[in-house]
Structure 1
Amino acid sequence: MTDSPKPFHIVFLLFDGITQLDFTGPAQFLSRMPGAVVHTAAKSTQPIETDSGFAIVPNCNFVDCPQADLLCVPGGFGTKDVIADAETLQFLRDQAAGAQYITSVCTGSLALGAAGLLEGKRATSHWAYTSLLERFGATFEKARVVKHGNVITAGGVTSGIDFALTVIAEIVGQEFAEAVQLGLEYDPHPPFSSGNPDVASPKLVETLHERGYGAVLKELEEIIPPRSG
């Protein structure tokens, strides 16, 4: 009889306006690790409204949340409220102090930055908001997953799955990560080549800015002051 694996506590921050795939994508993969225990933490355990029209119920609040081995902050349009919320930022600082890994998906990196956790780090975010990273003392690196020490940031939304596989490979090994990838049949072949502003048409990029990304960027620029000095 073999011993059960030591629990590995994975804490996802939840908040209203979250992009649910930022959270559910990596959670699906990370939960396959031996000993993985997934905690979904919010200020209260009331349902959290996602940007997909349905709610997610957190399984713990900030007070009851165990210490994370891996802390992950997803993104979404609600990130602007996280950045302005002192209680949430303090929760992130407290959890990060004892975590082995401090991570984010999409604009979750901006919340890490607001909590003071990206100073001097290379990092990434959703392509529409990478210009804001420098305001937190971080250096933008163009990649789907950026690792700097124990800080791992992923780009927009679907890159959270790549991030999860990167973490699994580091913790458990590449062979196990490949088995998880195969088991979940992660073999993307998108029907269009437009998933990155480097390959999408300039007109499409401009259209997305006009539809909302540009307005959100302006809101975030007002919330996040330019770096002095």
Structure 2
Amino acid sequence: MKTVAIVAFDKFTDIDVFLPWDLFNRVKLRNKEWQVKIVGTQDQHTSVCGIKLDMHAQIEACNDADVVFFASGPGTRALIKDPAYLKRLKLDPQRQIICSMCSGSLILAALGVLDGLTATTYPTAIEELKSYGVEVENKDLVVHGNIATAAGCLAAIDLVGFVIEKLLGTEIKDDVIASVMPVGKGLECIY
């Protein structure tokens, strides 16, 4: 069973949780050995737009997940200054795929995951990311082995595609991505 943990928190960006949630769950149509959870530090977190979202597990579920996917949003700024939060995460890029959307890269930097690597982030978080010594690339997706950062909400499609392809191959990735592309612009999909 492969597990994906999508990390949410108060003031997360809605699309950066819900779009990956939808895309990752489309994998189940092709592979039943796939589980997706939204995790956080409380039983419920509230998005920037005010949606209250129940968590499936606590943040420690990230420590055993095959994929850890950090969302973005203004809430990241509080988390990177919270040593107790950061200590709860024991991630290992040797055995896990660790990735982030937009300002979620700040959490990766605060955890030391981006030490010695380049990354991307949302324009409003560039200077903060640089303050961790990270060289910021002006790209929608930056990948270093099992670590990937994406910037711009719709880059979630590329980031999720990277994860699916790495774990399950090109065919399943292509089917999932094609299933959300505008008609006439994507690959033919099985759905």
TM-score norm. by structure 2 comes to: 0.85
Instruction: Give the match for residue 76 of structure 2.
Output: 79
C-alpha distance in 1, partners of 2:112/2:48?
A: 26
Structure 2: tracts of 5 or more residues without a match: 186-191
Alignment of 1:111-190 (within 5 A): 111-185=107-181
C-alpha distance in 2, partners of 1:15/1:147?
A: 24
Instruction: Give the match for residue 29 of structure 1.
Output: 23
Instruction: Give the match for residue 50 of structure 1.
Output: 47
Aligned residues: 181
Who wins on radius of gyration, i.e. which is larger? 1
Give how far 1:44 is off.
2.2
Instruction: Give the match for residue 58 of structure 2.
Output: 61
- Structure 1 window deviating more from structure 2 (62-71 vs 111-120): it is 62-71
2:124 equivalent to 1:107: no
- Asked whether the equivalents of residues 121 and 137 of structure 1 are also in contact (C-alpha less than 8 Å), the reply is no
Query: Structure 1 residues 111 and 63 mapped into 2: Cα distance closer, same or farther (>3 Å)?
Result: closer
1:165-217 deviation digits (Å, cap 9, x = unpaired): 1221222222221111222335799xxxxxxxxxxxxxxxxxxxxxxxxxxxx
C-alpha distance in 2, partners of 1:43/1:178?
A: 33
Sequence identity of aligned pairs in percent?
27
Instruction: Give the match for residue 7 of structure 2.
Output: 13
- Asked whether the equivalents of residues 49 and 55 of structure 1 are also in contact (C-alpha less than 8 Å), the reply is yes
- Asked whether the equivalents of residues 144 and 154 of structure 1 are also in contact (C-alpha less than 8 Å), the reply is yes
C-alpha distance in 1, partners of 2:131/2:36?
A: 31
1:31-64 deviation digits (Å, cap 9, x = unpaired): 233222112211121x211011211110111356
Match of 2:36 among 21, 35, 38: 38
How much is the aligned-residue C-alpha RMSD, in angstroms?
2.2
C-alpha distance in 2, partners of 1:119/1:99?
A: 17
Secondary structure, in 3 states, of the residue corresponding to 1:102?
A: strand
Deviation above 6 Å: which 4+ runs of structure 1?
A: none
Structure with more strand by fraction: 2
